[in-house]
């Protein structure tokens, strides 16, 4: 669960909170600027800023900020010897901003909107007046205008143009008023087109693997927060038309199609191919996939090169049969895809990731009852609906 989702959850419980963010870091401090943790009046709720004595002191101060409602800064300077004695492996300096978060209606709505925006793939930032944190403003990076004072907007536009709005900032206006700007970058996101049994299992497992989950379905009884409590966004999309409206799919977004029928799979696949997400997978048997591909080439004008971007059937070959097992096989492949896309696992076998960055999916063994051994080859109505 992300920090934003944790904030929403705790605010719903009417808890007083403090968000502890690293706003400046020099040398080899244990965590980088932008790392944060969430504290309530009783202690740590989520996240970390590096552990050890520093984090312990920050938690204690965060508990005080959560109770008082007054924001504070904390500065630390650690030599290598100091760091070792504090139970840490790094030295360096660090500046923390402790921001109180109160469970009032305005704040709850703001963080709910932030969760939805990030679920839609939008990069956001918040502008927090140091002396009045309850008046924080949420802004979308790509917006034409921001609902903040013109002077502050000009400063931040310069930072954005210079590529310096990806880490927290401390800024002041000509009147001496101080602000902290906290970036909220869109997380790795999984968009599930379909809300059936496989989608339900996949959503639960994917959220535990640090994907922000969005669910789309054409049926209200399947697309709701009661069925998908872990999802940042659940949307009813009649006939799956315009199902990705308002979503930025090109940035760190993986789309998996698990609808309840061939026609809906085709409808979603056409839209997804045009939107070009970072990863695109579809459940289904070889016969179903071939039928859809033939229609897309003959009727929609897609080339074989276009279709080669699709991982179908989606999921690793682990002999999965139940919805939970299929969900595990799908998320395992998504984790591999994320690693390949992120560029952080050069030794990873790219075939595990499916059709990502030119990698070829490992072909299912001939004669398998369900393609890729996941159960994904079952016809609609077996496990999907």
Write the pLDDT tens digit of every residue in 37-49. 999 999 999 998 8
| Angle, helices 197-208/323-342, rounded to nearest 10 degrees | 50
For 224-283, write each residue's pLDDT tens digit.
Answer: 999 999 898 899 999 999 999 988 787 789 999 999 988 999 999 999 999 999 999 999
Together in a domain, 214 and 362? yes
Assess if residue 285 is contained within a domain.
yes
Last residue of a domain, one of 184, 209, 238: 184
Assess if residue 382 is contained within a domain.
no
Together in a domain, 154 and 253? no
Together in a domain, 227 and 329? yes
Last residue of a domain, one of 101, 130, 146: 101
Together in a domain, 331 and 353? yes
Determine phi and psi for 245, rounding to 5 degrees. Answer: -55, 130
Q: Where are the alpha helices (DSSP H) in 86-242?
A: 105-119, 150-161, 197-208
For 11-63, write each residue's pLDDT tens digit.
Answer: 999 999 999 999 987 654 444 556 899 999 999 999 988 878 889 999 999 99
Assess if residue 259 is contained within a domain.
yes
- CATH number of the structural domain spanning residue 213: 3.40.50.720
Residue given tokens 């520093």 in the structure block: 54
Phi-psi region of 342 (alpha: psi -120 to 50; beta: other; left: phi over 0): alpha
Confidence tier at 80 by pLDDT (50, 70, 90): low
Together in a domain, 215 and 89? no
User: By mean pLDDT, which of 25-29, 174-178, 339-343 is the weakest?
Assistant: 25-29
Assess if residue 43 is contained within a domain.
yes
Together in a domain, 111 and 80? no
Assess if residue 139 is contained within a domain.
yes
pTM (2 decimals)?
0.67
Pairwise pLDDT comparison (348 vs 265), residue with the higher score:
265
Together in a domain, 39 and 155? no
Together in a domain, 328 and 237? yes
Q: Are 281 and 254 in contact (CB under 8 A)?
A: yes
CA separation for the pair 132, 201 (Å, rounded): 42
Q: What is the CB-side half-sphere exposure of residue 137 using CA atoms within 13 A?
A: 13
Assess if residue 287 is contained within a domain.
yes
Confidence tier at 186 by pLDDT (50, 70, 90): confident
Assess if residue 269 is contained within a domain.
yes
Together in a domain, 169 and 240? no
Phi-psi region of 133 (alpha: psi -120 to 50; beta: other; left: phi over 0): alpha
pLDDT for 257 equals: 97
Together in a domain, 178 and 201? no
Assess if residue 19 is contained within a domain.
yes
Counting residues of the chain whose pLDDT is more than 90, the rounded percentage is 65
Together in a domain, 175 and 246? no
**Beta pairing, strands 253-257 & 279-282:** parallel
Distances in Å between the alpha carbon of 132 and those of 42, 66, 99, 153, 156? 23, 14, 10, 18, 19
Last residue of a domain, one of 161, 184, 207: 184
Confidence tier at 176 by pLDDT (50, 70, 90): very high
Burial class (CB in 10 A: 0-12, 13-18, 19+), 66: buried
Annotate 235-287 with DSSP letters as a single string.
EE-GGGTTTTTT--TTTTEEEEE--SSHHHHHHHHHHHHHH--SEEEE---HH
User: By mean pLDDT, which of 34-43, 87-96, 148-157 is the weakest?
Assistant: 87-96
Together in a domain, 222 and 364? yes
Structural domain count of the chain: 3
Sheet holding 36-40, edge to edge: 43-47, 36-40, 17-26, 92-101, 72-78
Confidence tier at 356 by pLDDT (50, 70, 90): confident
Domain extent at residue 234: 189-373
């Amino acid at each position: 669960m992300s920090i934003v989702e944790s904030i929403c959850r705790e605010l719903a419980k009417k808890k007083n909170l403090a968000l502890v963010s690293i706003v400046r870091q020099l040398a080899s401090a244990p965590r980088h600027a932008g790392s944060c943790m969430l504290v309530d009046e009783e202690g740590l709720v989520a996240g970390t800023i590096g552990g050890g004595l520093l984090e312990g002191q920050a938690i204690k101060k965060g508990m005080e900020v959560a109770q008082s409602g007054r924001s504070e800064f904390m500065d630390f300077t650690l030599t290598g010897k100091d760091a070792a004695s504090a139970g840490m492996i790094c030295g360096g300096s660090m500046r923390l901003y402790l921001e109180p978060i109160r469970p009032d209606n305005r704040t709850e709505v703001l963080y709910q909107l932030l969760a939805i925006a990030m679920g839609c793939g939008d990069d956001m930032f918040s502008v927090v007046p140091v002396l009045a944190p309850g008046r924080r403003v949420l802004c979308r990076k790509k917006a034409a205008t921001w609902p903040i004072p013109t002077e502050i907007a000009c400063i931040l536009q310069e930072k954005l143009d210079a590529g310096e709005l990806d880490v927290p900032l401390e800024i002041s206006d000509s009147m001496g008023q101080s602000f902290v700007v906290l970036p909220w970058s869109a997380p790795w996101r999984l968009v599930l087109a379909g809300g059936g049994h496989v989608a339900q299992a996949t959503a639960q497992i994917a959220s535990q693997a640090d994907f922000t989950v969005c669910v789309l379905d054409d049926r209200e009884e399947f697309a709701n927060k009661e069925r998908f409590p872990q999802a940042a966004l659940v949307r009813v999309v009649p006939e799956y038309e315009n199902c990705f409206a308002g979503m930025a799919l090109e940035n760190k977004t993986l789309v998996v199609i698990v609808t309840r029928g061939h026609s809906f799979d085709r409808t979603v696949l056409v839209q997804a191919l045009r939107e070009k997400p970072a990863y695109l997978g579809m459940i289904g048997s070889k016969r179903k996939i071939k039928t859809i591909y033939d229609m897309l080439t003959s009727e929609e004008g897609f080339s074989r090169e276009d279709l080669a971007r699709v991982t179908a059937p989606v999921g690793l070959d682990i002999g999965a049969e139940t919805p939970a097992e299929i969900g595990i096989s799908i998320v395992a492949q998504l984790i591999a895809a994320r690693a390949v896309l992120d560029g952080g696992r050069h030794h990873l076998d790219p075939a595990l990731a499916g059709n990502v960055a030119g990698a070829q999916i490992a072909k299912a063994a001939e004669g398998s009852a369900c393609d890729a051994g996941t159960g994904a080859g079952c016809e609609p109505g077996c496990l999907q609906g």
